[in-house]
Copies of this chain bind each other. A is one copy, B any other.
Amino acid sequence: MVDTFGDRLRERITDFGPLCVGIDPSHRQLTSWERGDDVSGLEFFSLAMLEASAGVAAAIKPQVAYFERFGSAGYRVLERLLADARDARVLVIADAKRGDIASTNDGYAQAWLRSDSPLASDALTMSPYLGLGTMTGLVDAAASSGRGIFVVVASSNDEGRVVQEALIDGDTRVEDALLEHIAQWNAGSDVVGSVGAVVGATRDRPRFDLARVKGPFLVPGVGEQGASPEHVARLFAGVTPGTVLVNVSRVVSSAGPDATSIRDAAQRWRDDLAAALP
């Protein structure tokens, strides 16, 4: 039987700590590294961030939007990054926030979660506005190859609360209903399942007991968005050790372009997070 993505991630977190390095090659970021805002700057930045992450971070999280800025040429760089990450034994979470009707989601599964795809990633982030029921085929595809998805449940930004805290049947928040659905998907797993949740470190604890989700958590909001490792520890108190993956982006990349400085910054965040989390 194939290990679940949750189990594979837990193993990496045990070995390397709970840090995920976000790779966000925005115009602002490439410019601050004094690189051109072009495909060559994109490639330099992405590979330097991967190199600094190997052995320090459990995973990297490329933000696909910033590659898509350059169309197919940007996607070629992303493919190179994904291939190099596989070689470097760093897990990749493609942050693409896809989500559509079921037949279209099967297309996304083929793009991101199939071993022979040039974009094959260990996990893909998903946006649930069209409902989790659309994602069954994607979850099955992920599980069969040890890959996973992370559903955005409670995003780190304020503007999402109006949707995420709206009420279903009078008293259940959307975010809690999603967590319950994810828990059902993961219920059959021995330890940690294939379906994770994105829960921002800047948010209050959901009403649904996070320990019951049995999936990995991807946690944005730490660093520039203001949350600390202690926030994360409080939010996830009680969940299975090794299931909380904390994304840190700009506070690491802003130490660049010098490779040693990026790596030192990543290491500091890793150590602070590892000390705070169970």
Contact = CB atoms under 8 A, between A and B. Distances in A.
A130 B108 contact: no
What band does the interface of chain A fall in when counting residues whose beta carbon is under 8 Å from B?
35 or more
| Interface of A (DSSP majority class) | helix
Given A72-B75, A111-B68, A174-B166, A131 B161 contact: yes
Interface in A188-245: none
A59 to B, nearest CB: 18
A110 B157 contact: no
Interface in A75-91: 75-76, 78-79
B129 A68 contact: no
A115 to B, nearest CB: 13
Given A72-B79, A75-B71, A107-B69, A131 B160 contact: yes
A168 B78 CA distance: 39
A102 B78 CA distance: 22
A117 B75 CA distance: 13
